[in-house]
A and B are shown apart, each in its own frame.
Chain A
Amino acid sequence: MGPLVINEIISENTNLLLAFFIGIGFGFVLEQAGFSSSRKLAGVFYGYDAVVLKVFFTGAITAMLGLLFLSLFGVLDLNLVYVNETFLVSAILGGVVMGAGFIMGGYCPGTSFCGAAIGKIDAMIFIVGLFLGVFIFAEGYPLWENMYKATFLGSPRISEFFGISEGIFTFMVILAAVLMFWGAEWAEKKFPREEY
C-alpha cells in the first residue's frame, strides 16, 4: 500500500534513486510536449499556443482522478500524502510575483531546466535568475518573514474548505477544463502561428 517510502516498503535511499527516475519521466514528457520553448509557453497568454493549458489541466485532472482511484482501491493511503500548506497572503503574493516572472521570462523553474537541457541559452539565463532570486529572498528574509508566515490556514483540501465532496470538486475542475480546452482550440485557430 502506498506511499511506499512512508509505509517503509522501500528505503529512503531507494526513494531518492526513484526520485531521479521520476525526474527523467517528468523532464522527458515536458520536453516532448514542447515546454522547452519559451515562445510556446508564453503562447497561452496571447492565444496562439495553448499547450500550457492543455498539458497542465489534463495532467492535473489525470493525477486527481488517478490518486482518488488508487485511494478507492486501497492501493494508496491519501492521508499519508503530502498536501502543501496554505499561507494565504504569502501564497497570493508569491503567485503574483511568479506570474510576472512567467510573462517576462517565458519559463518557470521546471520548464527552464528542460529548455537548458536542450541548449536554450535564454533558459540557462533564467536559471541564473532563479538562483539570484532565491538568494535575494534568503538575504532579505528578516524583512518579510512575518508576511511569509502570516495567515496560516493549515493544509486544507479545497473540497474540505468549501464543504463539497472530492468527487464533486474534481468533476467541476473537469468541466472547467473542458470549457477552457474548447476555448483554447478556438483561440489557436483564430491566432495561428508557425510552430516554435
Chain B
Amino acid sequence: MSVSKKSKYMNPYLAGVLLGLVVIAANFISGRSVGASGAIKSAVVAGVETVAPAHAESAKFYKEFSEGHEGSPLNSWLVYQMLGVLVGGFVSGVISQRLTWKVEHNPKIKSRTRLIFALTGGILFGIGSQFGRGCTSGSALSGMAVLSLGGFISMMAIFGTAFALAWFFRKLWI
C-alpha cells in the first residue's frame, strides 16, 4: 500500500472494517441489516396518512404499506436507525471539527447549479430506491453482506450507471 498522506478522514480500509462490524451487529441483533431509503418511505407514508388519511386508505401504495406494518409507520427499525445516523454523523463532525454550514460544490459551477442537481439527484434516488427496494445501504451493502442476488444486481446497476453517466456530468465535479 502507498504511503498515505496526512488525512483529516479515517483510513478508508479501517472505516470499511468498522462498517462491516456495524452490519454484523445489526444482523446479529435484529436479523436484518442497515438501510436508509426505507425510512424515507415510512416518513412519506406517515405524512400522507396524517395530511390526507382518506387518500392513504384508498391508494394502493399506502394501503400495501399499512397492511404490512402495525401501528405508526414511524415506529420502525429503519426510522430509529436513521435518527441514529444523524446523531452519529453529527458527533463525528463535532469530534473531527467538520461542522459547517455550506453548499459544497465544485468551484467551477455555481452553488445554485449544485442545489438543482442535488434536488434532482434526490428525486431520482427516491424513485429508484423504491423500484430497487432499497438503496446503496439497504440493498447493495446489506444485500452483499448476506450474499443476496438482488443486492448484488442493485449494486452493479447503481455503480455501473453512475460510471456510464460520469462523463456527461463531469462539469459538476471536476
Chain A interface residues (CB < 8 Å from chain B) = 2-6, 10, 15-34, 36-40, 42-43, 45-46, 48, 50-51, 54-67, 70, 75-76, 78, 80-88, 90-110, 112-123, 125-139, 141-142, 144-145, 147-148, 153, 155-159, 161, 166, 169-170, 173, 185, 189, 195-196
Q: Report whether A23 and B104 are in contact in the complex, using a CB–CB cutoff of 8 Å.
A: no
Query: Across the interface, which residues of B come within 8 angstroms of A55, CB to CB?
Result: 12-13, 15-16, 19
Per-position binary interface string of chain B over residues 117-137, scored 1 when its CB falls under 8 Å from any chain A CB and 0 otherwise: 111111111111111111111
Inter-subunit contact B41/A134 (CB<8 Å): yes
Q: Are A84 and B142 in contact (CB under 8 A)?
A: yes
CB-nearest residue of chain B to A3 = B31
With contacts A32-B10, A113-B89 taken as known, whether A98 is within 8 angstroms of B135 at the C-beta atoms is yes
For the complex formed, measure the closest distance between the CB of A16 and the CB atoms of chain B, giving whole angstroms.
5
Which residues of A sit under 8 angstroms from B22, Cβ to Cβ?
22, 25-26, 29
Which listed residue (B9, B120, B141, B173) contacts A33, Cβ 8 A? B9
A44 to chain B, nearest CB (A): 8
Q: How many A-B residue pairs have CB under 8 A?
A: 542
Contact B85 A113 (CB under 8 A): yes
Chain A residues contacting B146 (CB-CB under 8 Å) are 64, 67, 78, 81-84, 157
CA distance A98 to B164 in the complex (A): 13
Q: Closest residue to B100 on the A side, CB-wise? A: A119
Q: How far is the CA of A83 from the CA of B43 in the complex (A)?
A: 23
Contact B145 A63 (CB under 8 A): yes
Besides A32-B92, A118-B93, A157-B148, 19 other A-B contacts (C-beta < 8 A): A23-B82, A29-B92, A46-B170, A55-B15, A58-B13, A82-B33, A91-B139, A95-B154, A98-B157, A99-B128, A107-B122, A118-B100, A122-B115, A123-B118, A135-B48, A144-B131, A148-B131, A155-B148, A157-B146
Known: A60-B141, A185-B2. A20 touches B84 (CB 8 A): yes
Contact A121 B115 (CB under 8 A): yes
Q: Which residues of B contact A97 (CB under 8 A)?
A: 124-125, 127-128, 131-132, 161
A-contacting residues of B (Cβ < 8 Å)?
A: 1-2, 7-10, 12-13, 15-37, 39-41, 43-45, 48, 59-62, 75-78, 80-93, 96, 98-106, 114-115, 117-166, 169-170, 172-174
